[in-house]
Amino acid sequence: MEQIKVSTAGNKAEVYRELLPQLESLVSGENDFIANVANLSAALKQALPYASWVGFYFMKEGGLVVGPFQGKVACTRIKIGSGVCGTAAASKKTLIVPNVAEFPGHIYCDPDSKSEIVVPLMKNNEVVGVLDIDSSSLDSFDSVDAQYLEQVAGLVGSLFP
Ligand code: SME
């Protein structure tokens, strides 16, 4: 079993540049989608010290249903257009929320969450889910996270059955 190693002294972009090939290697050679996204959520949580919750929601029966994640127990179902996850899914765009208290309709799964990023997962131009990362600090996510997490989302989209 390979372990994830990133230099903690690196800046965000360096951490992601070290991490991405490891994520690709983690899922190569395994075709079980749930196993792969479960390990991806663990790897992201391990590598990003500012992440308090990392996980996936997938489209089912017209809404988002929680998938593999790392962190506290989360809301099971989110409607499209609701909360940060449902808004990102509806708009097909990455959403960075520096302060969740200021996002109208934000869904509090974890009362410690202060900032959040949600990246849509796309397959054949359709939203198949979202990657959601929360932080217990304000303003944890920026365009560097968005840029690299969109690559992670691309990887997940390519694995989606
Ligand atoms: N805060 C999210 C709900 C999911 S949890 O953060 C895990 C939202 O507003 O959609």
Note the pLDDT tens digit of each residue in 109-135.
888 899 999 999 999 999 999 999 999
Token pair recorded at residue 16: 């992601």
Separation of CA 109 and ligand 1 centre (Å): 6
Cα-Cα-Cα-Cα dihedral sign, residues 26, 51, 116, 60 = positive
Domain assignment present for 7: no
Give the total number of structural domains in the chain. Answer: 1
Nearest residue (CA) to ligand 1, atom 1 = 107
Q: What is the pTM of this model?
A: 0.96
**Residue 1, domain member (yes or no):** no
Q: Which tokens sit at 105?
A: 């309709």
CA of 146 relative to ligand 1 center, distance in Å: 17
Within a domain: residue 4? no
- Domain span at 19: 12-159
Q: How confident is the model at residue 1 (pLDDT cuts 50, 70, 90)?
A: low
Position in ligand 1 atom list of the atom nearest CA 106: 9
* Residue 90 belongs to some domain of the structure: yes
**Least confident range of 47-51, 105-109, 139-143:** 105-109
Nearest-atom index, ligand 1, CA of 74: 7
Does the Cβ of 59 fall within 6 Å of ligand 1? no
Q: What is the pLDDT of residues 12-46, one digit of tens each?
A: 999 999 999 999 999 998 999 999 999 999 999 99
Q: Which atom of ligand 1 is nearest to the CA of 113?
A: 6
Task: Compute φ and ψ for 102, nearest 5 degrees.
Answer: -100, 5
Number of alpha carbons in the 13 Å side-chain half-sphere of residue 139: 0
For residue 51, being part of any structural domain is answered with yes
Which domain CATH number covers 98?
A: 3.30.450.40
